Structure 1
C-alpha cells in the first residue's frame, strides 16, 4: 500500500508542479504579449478554468503527502515529506491570500470592462506565482526524495 501511495503522491504532486511551471513559463508570458482583448480573454478563461481545478489539486497533493508522511513516520524519509507538507501548506496559504484575489478579479475582466492597471495586476500575479512555483518545486523534490527513501 505504501508503494502505491508513494507513487501516487509523486505523480499527483509532480503533475501539479508541471502545470504550474507551464503556466509560469509558457502560458502567461504568451498571453501578456497578445493584444489587450485577446490577452484579457485568455487570462480570464484561464482564471476560471484553473480556479475550479487547482484547489482540489493542491488540497489533494497536500492530503496525499500528509498521509505518506504518517506512513513513513519514524523513518528518515518522514522528515523530507513533512517539510514537503509544510511547503505545500505555504503554497496553499499564499494562493488563497495573495493569488486568488487577483485571479478572481481577472476572471471577470473583458476588453470593454477592465481596470487601467490590468497588465500590472497580471504581472504582480505572475511574480507571486513564480515564488509559489519555487515553493512547490521544492515540495515536489522532497516528496520524491521521501518516496525514494522509504
Structure 2
C-alpha cells in the first residue's frame, strides 16, 4: 500500500510539473506570438480553466506528499520527502500570495476592460511562474530520489 502511495504521489506531482512547465515554456510563448488581442484573450481563458483545476492539484500533491512523509518518518529517504513537502508548501504559498491574485484579475480581462498595465502584470506573473516551476521541479526530483 505504501509503495502504491509513493508511486501515485510521484506521478501526480510529475504530471503537475509537466503541465506547469508546458505553460511556462510553450503555452505562454504561443500566446505571446498570437496577433492582436488573441494572446491576451487566450491567457484569460487559460487563467479561468487552469485557475479552476490547479488549486486542487497543488493541494492534492501536497497532501499526498505529506502522508508519504508521515508514513516513512525516520526511514531511509524520508528527509527527501520532507524536503519535497517543504518545497510544495513554498509553491502553494507563492501561488496563493502572488500568482493567484494576478490570475484572478487577468482571467476577467478583455481588450475592452483590461488595465493599462496589463502587460506588466502578465510579465510579473510569468516571472513568478518560472520560479514556481523551478520549486516544483525540485520537489518532484526529491520525490523521485526518495522513491528510488
TM-score range, shorter chain: over 0.9
CA–CA distance in 1 between the matches of 2:60 and 2:140?
13
CA–CA distance in 2 between the matches of 1:36 and 1:52?
26
Q: Spell out structure 1 runs of 4+ moving beyond 2 A.
A: none
Q: CA deviation at 1:2?
A: 0.8
CA–CA distance in 2 between the matches of 1:84 and 1:46?
27
CA–CA distance in 1 between the matches of 2:16 and 2:50?
11
CA–CA distance in 1 between the matches of 2:105 and 2:44?
9
Deviations 1:84-114, CA, capped at 9 Å, x for gaps: 0000000000000000011000000001111
CA RMSD, Structure 1 to Structure 2 (Å): 0.8
CA–CA distance in 2 between the matches of 1:36 and 1:22?
23
Gaps of 5+ in 2: none
Gaps of 5+ in 1: none
* TM-score, normalised with respect to structure 1: 0.96
CA–CA distance in 2 between the matches of 1:110 and 1:75?
52
Aligned residues: 148
* TM-score, normalised with respect to structure 2: 0.97
The residue number in structure 2 matching 1:114 is: 114
